[in-house]
Chain A
Amino acid sequence: MYASTSGMPASRPVMPARLPIAAILLWLGALLASAAPWLNQLDAGAVLSAFWAFNPDNYSSILAHFSWAPRVSIAILIGCGLGLAGAVTQQVLGNPLASPTTLGVEAGGQFGVTVATLFAPGLLAFSPDLVAIAGGLIAIGMVIALTWRLGFSPVTVILAGLVITFFLGALNMAFLLLKGEWLGNLFIWGAGSLVQNNWGPFMELWPRVLVISVLILLLMRPLQVLQLGQSSASSLGARVGLIRALALFLVVLMTATVVSRVGVVAFVGLAAPVLARLLGARTFASRILWSTLMGGGLLLLADTLAHWASTWGDGSLVPTGTTTALIGGPIILLALQGFRNTHHMPGQESNLAGFQPRRRAPLLVSSIVAGLIAITVAVSMGWSPGLDGWSWTPVTQWDDAWVWRGPRLLAAMLAGVALGLAGTLIQRMTGNPMGSPEMLGISGGAALAMVLIVLTGADVGRAGQLGAATLGAAGALGLLILLARKHQFAGNQLLLGGLALYVFMDAGLRLVMASGGTVASQLLNWMYGSTWLVSETEAFGLLGFIVLICGLLALIVRPLTLLPLGDTSASSLGLPVTKARLLLLLLAAVLTASATVVIGPLSFVGLIAPHLARVLGQQTVGRQLIVAGLVGGLLLALADYLSRIVVFPNQLPAGLLAALVGGVYFLWGLSRHGRP
């Protein structure tokens, strides 16, 4: 009755042999690499027996039993746990990039522990799990609240997770700057160190991991049904909401249990399932199995690398979290290559909430914002706290005050304008309200260059730093262009490529932070956007540059309107799509780089300004650009002023302040996005 396509294999698909081979190679390699230093001192049998016994007369044997063996065991245990958690997260959200790291759960756990360390150390002694779980739940709750109305699309969820991670990171940093003396250890801990000196932590951890794993396995079949999408799954009688909530709760439990003991071990939960999938684990059951195994092997390998790096280096500790993050970047890039279509993925529903745009006159809105900027400038120049209370600086004396207050204010404002423009470009290009230069990894590229300079200890001065950061941004851009060319510079791939770059930057930063010392504080100041070092020439140079770019922007308003209609429509209307994308990308990158050297990579302005412009009723591209630029300028001018006065006579970095305030606005704003 049916015309069957003949010649099709009627046999069952078999599991590709490369899967077990890769797993075995990974485990063997990691175990051998880990055991190698010990094999010089002990014979193979003794090394193996170090897991359960030791010879009290042999120092090496004692060391192996109490330091090496528990470290290996805990690495495998945690790796397996995180691999399992990652596989489940991907299934629950139908999202091949979801993981405890990318959803902000790890950052949340870390945040919980930081807060507890500072304000309720007693709680930490009682149970570190509790605070970490609370933090993880808060983080994932925020991610879900953010993406609820945006339809849980995979890229949006990941970006929201990233925003939350940044935000909690900024909060952590604010605590650090204000109460630094308490948090020294948190850095090493926060970067994920697996160093052990007895079997205690392992013994404490394994029953918990086991229980959570068993609970997760009980949810296996309902999770499998989720693969069919929400409506089909629920018409099969699965309670989709309940299953999702339960599974995510278990994931948070698993992650937080791990985080509270060894700190953030980033990206194992992402890398393991991605690897398993790439190697051909097809069904959910096999993905769970292999990603658990891969996780264990991967973390052991990463930990061994970290251990070697610590030994070979100058004795400073290299936390395992650093090496896992270094592995994480390439893995995301690998996963990217596997994507055909990020717009529609399994489990994704197409019921996007309608956003009713309200329009307002652009002239009115922009003049109001411009007026606010003028007021901010006036107040910032004039009204300030002194040694004997608040006072107005008379206008006649502004000439003198200019040297101190002017350049930084101007630079901050211009950086805000640049970020606002870049953010609008990127959001329009990618069609994703979560897109922004911070997310594109261009800021990350600039930051990485700075990190490298600090690491090598070269004293290149401010100008050298500027040059290096620009180079870094350009490098990141180049890499992005290479990556994205395959996908014709399509939006979501670009964002994900940026995510991978961010991961690299993150790894470098962790390394610097963990090594501590003066370099770290130097870097911190720039990272979180200290504006107080900007000179007058730099500020004016930036001004000229931004004016130039604004002229160019007039050319691209119309292409930018066409691009979101889709490549086919845009090119059939006569737009050279690839060229237009390339030009837009270049503009966005240059804008971002110029802003990043001033304000650091982590302000949310590029994310918020375009969003605010829409809320203010500017729906067309040209108007949104203008208002977003103005709003960005206003935000950072305000942040710069506040950073001067909030903890007077000390200073907070303006970028940090912007990130904190902006983060709060963003969470609030997006969660009501689309509410009728």
Chain B
Amino acid sequence: MSAFFEVSSLGVHIGDAAILNDINIEFREGEVTALLGHNGSGKSTLLKVLARQTPPSSGNTSLLGSSFRTTGAREFARTVGYLPQHPPGTDGLTVRELVALGRYPWRGPLGRYNSEDHQFIDQAIHDTGLDHFQHRSVDTLSGGERQRAWIAMLLAQQTRCLLLDEPISALDVKHQVETLRLVHRLAEERELTVIVVLHDVDLAARFCDRLVALKGGRLIADGSPRDIMDSGTLESIYGVPMGVMERAPDQWVSYVH
């Protein structure tokens, strides 16, 4: 597997405050990675840098070997899709219209949508289980359905990579699991690279191939769920004494002492 993103000595500063400090990391193609850490640890910022939403103050980031600086906006959008933490209201768009906007990077301001585009749109709607809702207004959907509609837009974008910023934080347990299962399944089927910011370390361990933890803007842990799901490591990530039980192979339960 080759490096999809390559981040070297990355730093982000806002005023005097350092949000990210000297981050060196590679994200490999076809891998589902969770970014962990407590609030303010810099994980959302790292994701935004990868999505080119926030320019780094120092250091270098490259996508598939070519530097961010040389990639065009739409070219980038054909490779990387980003779902912000709080997607805005959509002002009456139907699900299908929202998903169709995902084809923008491919067709641009003037290009016509052909049957291939419509096929991708149908596929994305189908994959997220939204067939029944495709003509409903997005604003009238429940939180979980709305989240799926936005993910469907990302799928229609046909990128090789998804960057998701806390996609499940507003959902109940059932929808959390469903959403992550969906992401996991899609990643396998389409060999997508997925980087997702998560708060729930157990779910992260369950659905991701790799866990990366940040603290105070620095990288403090990086490894497979088996490496990270260890009381000492978790304690250093979250700063509270924690314990871990392995209930079944590859299924961990963490708890706070």
A interface vs B, CB < 8 Å? Answer: 1-2, 4-6, 8-13, 94, 218-222, 224-225, 227-229, 231-232, 234-239, 282-283, 344-350, 676
Q: Does B4 contact A (CB under 8 A)?
A: no
| Chain A positions within 8 Å of B81 at CB level | 235
Asked whether, in the complex, the Cβ of B129 is within 8 Å of the Cβ of A231, the reply is no
Per-position 1/0 for B74-111, Cβ under 8 A of A: 11111011111011111111100110011011011110
Q: In the complex, which residue of chain A has the Cβ closest to the Cβ of B182?
A: A1
Q: Does B133 contact A (CB under 8 A)?
A: yes
Q: In the complex, which residue of chain A has the Cβ closest to the Cβ of B105?
A: A237
12 other A-B residue contacts (CB within 8 Å) besides A222-B104, A225-B104, A237-B77: A4-B132, A4-B133, A9-B136, A13-B135, A225-B101, A228-B101, A232-B83, A234-B53, A235-B81, A236-B101, A282-B92, A282-B137
Q: How far is the CA of A140 from the CA of B210 in the complex (A)?
A: 49
Per-position 1/0 for B44-61, Cβ under 8 A of A: 000010011100000000
Asked whether, in the complex, the Cβ of A227 is within 8 Å of the Cβ of B90, the reply is yes
Per-position 1/0 for B121-148, Cβ under 8 A of A: 0000000010111111100001000001
Q: How far is the CA of A344 from the CA of B89 in the complex (A)?
A: 8
Q: Does B157 contact A (CB under 8 A)?
A: yes
Q: How far is the CA of A350 from the CA of B87 in the complex (A)?
A: 11
Asked whether, in the complex, the Cβ of A232 is within 8 Å of the Cβ of B84, the reply is yes
| Chain A positions within 8 Å of B108 at CB level | 221
Asked whether, in the complex, the Cβ of A237 is within 8 Å of the Cβ of B89, the reply is no
| Chain A positions within 8 Å of B104 at CB level | 221-222, 225, 236-238
Asked whether, in the complex, the Cβ of B89 is within 8 Å of the Cβ of A10, the reply is no
Given A13-B135, A225-B101, A232 and B82 contact (CB-CB distance below 8 Å): yes
Asked whether, in the complex, the Cβ of A346 is within 8 Å of the Cβ of B86, the reply is no
| Chain A positions within 8 Å of B78 at CB level | 237
Asked whether, in the complex, the Cβ of A13 is within 8 Å of the Cβ of B89, the reply is no
Number of contacting residues on B, CB 8 A?
Answer: 50
Question: When A and B form their complex, what is the total count of cross-chain residue pairs whose Cβ atoms lie within 8 Å?
Answer: 116
Contact among A2, A219, A221, A344 for B88, CB-based, below 8 A: A344
8 closest A-B pairs by beta carbon, nearest first, are: A237-B77, A237-B74, A235-B82, A229-B88, A2-B129, A237-B105, A346-B91, A231-B84
Asked whether, in the complex, the Cβ of B92 is within 8 Å of the Cβ of A237, the reply is no
Q: Does B178 contact A (CB under 8 A)?
A: yes
| Chain A positions within 8 Å of B249 at CB level | none
Contact among A8, A13, A220, A344 for B132, CB-based, below 8 A: A8
Q: How far is the CA of A344 from the CA of B135 in the complex (A)?
A: 24
Q: In the complex, which residue of chain A has the Cβ closest to the Cβ of B102?
A: A236
Asked whether, in the complex, the Cβ of A219 is within 8 Å of the Cβ of B109, the reply is yes
Q: B205: shortest Cβ distance to chain A, in Å?
A: 22
Contact among A239, A346, A349 for B90, CB-based, below 8 A: A346
Contact among A221, A235, A345, A349 for B110, CB-based, below 8 A: A221
30 residue pairs bridging A and B, Cβ less than 8 Å apart: A1-B178, A2-B129, A2-B148, A4-B132, A4-B133, A5-B132, A6-B132, A9-B135, A10-B131, A10-B134, A10-B135, A12-B94, A13-B94, A219-B109, A221-B107, A222-B104, A228-B153, A229-B87, A229-B88, A231-B48, A231-B51, A235-B82, A235-B84, A236-B105, A237-B72, A237-B104, A237-B105, A346-B89, A346-B91, A349-B88
Asked whether, in the complex, the Cβ of A231 is within 8 Å of the Cβ of B82, the reply is yes
Asked whether, in the complex, the Cβ of A227 is within 8 Å of the Cβ of B136, the reply is no
Asked whether, in the complex, the Cβ of B74 is within 8 Å of the Cβ of A347, the reply is no
Q: In the complex, which residue of chain A has the Cβ closest to the Cβ of B144?
A: A2
Asked whether, in the complex, the Cβ of B135 is within 8 Å of the Cβ of A235, the reply is no
| Chain B positions within 8 Å of A676 at CB level | 15
Asked whether, in the complex, the Cβ of B84 is within 8 Å of the Cβ of A229, the reply is yes
Q: How far is the CA of A456 from the CA of B159 in the complex (A)?
A: 69
Q: Does B248 contact A (CB under 8 A)?
A: no
Q: Does B173 contact A (CB under 8 A)?
A: no
| Chain A positions within 8 Å of B94 at CB level | 12-13
Q: Does B73 contact A (CB under 8 A)?
A: yes
Q: B113: shortest Cβ distance to chain A, in Å?
A: 10
Asked whether, in the complex, the Cβ of A345 is within 8 Å of the Cβ of B89, the reply is yes
By CB atoms of chain A within 10 A, which of B84, B98, B102, B178 has the most?
A: B84
Asked whether, in the complex, the Cβ of B90 is within 8 Å of the Cβ of A13, the reply is no
Q: In the complex, which residue of chain B has the Cβ closest to the Cβ of A240?
A: B73
| Chain B positions within 8 Å of A236 at CB level | 77, 101-102, 104-105, 157
| Chain B positions within 8 Å of A349 at CB level | 88
Q: How far is the CA of A358 from the CA of B137 in the complex (A)?
A: 45
Q: How far is the CA of A10 from the CA of B142 in the complex (A)?
A: 17
Q: How far is the CA of A116 from the CA of B190 in the complex (A)?
A: 63
Contact among B48, B53, B73 for A239, CB-based, below 8 A: B73
Asked whether, in the complex, the Cβ of A4 is within 8 Å of the Cβ of B129, the reply is yes
Asked whether, in the complex, the Cβ of B88 is within 8 Å of the Cβ of A348, the reply is yes
Q: How far is the CA of A344 from the CA of B91 in the complex (A)?
A: 11
Q: B181: shortest Cβ distance to chain A, in Å?
A: 8
Asked whether, in the complex, the Cβ of A227 is within 8 Å of the Cβ of B91, the reply is yes
Q: How far is the CA of A5 from the CA of B129 in the complex (A)?
A: 11
| Chain B positions within 8 Å of A13 at CB level | 94, 135, 137
Residues facing A in B24-44 (CB within 8 A) are none
Q: A73: shortest Cβ distance to chain B, in Å?
A: 31
Q: How far is the CA of A676 from the CA of B80 in the complex (A)?
A: 33
Asked whether, in the complex, the Cβ of B132 is within 8 Å of the Cβ of A10, the reply is yes
Q: In the complex, which residue of chain A has the Cβ closest to the Cβ of B159?
A: A235
Q: In the complex, which residue of chain A has the Cβ closest to the Cβ of B163?
A: A235
Q: How far is the CA of A676 from the CA of B78 in the complex (A)?
A: 36
Asked whether, in the complex, the Cβ of A283 is within 8 Å of the Cβ of B102, the reply is no
Contact among B110, B136, B148, B178 for A218, CB-based, below 8 A: B110
Asked whether, in the complex, the Cβ of A2 is within 8 Å of the Cβ of B178, the reply is yes
Asked whether, in the complex, the Cβ of A235 is within 8 Å of the Cβ of B178, the reply is no
| Chain A positions within 8 Å of B51 at CB level | 231, 235
| Chain B positions within 8 Å of A231 at CB level | 48, 51, 53, 82, 84
Contact among B48, B73, B137, B148 for A237, CB-based, below 8 A: B73
| Chain A positions within 8 Å of B137 at CB level | 13, 282
Given A222-B109, A346-B89, A346-B91, A237 and B75 contact (CB-CB distance below 8 Å): yes
Q: How far is the CA of A239 from the CA of B92 in the complex (A)?
A: 23
Q: A223: shortest Cβ distance to chain B, in Å?
A: 9
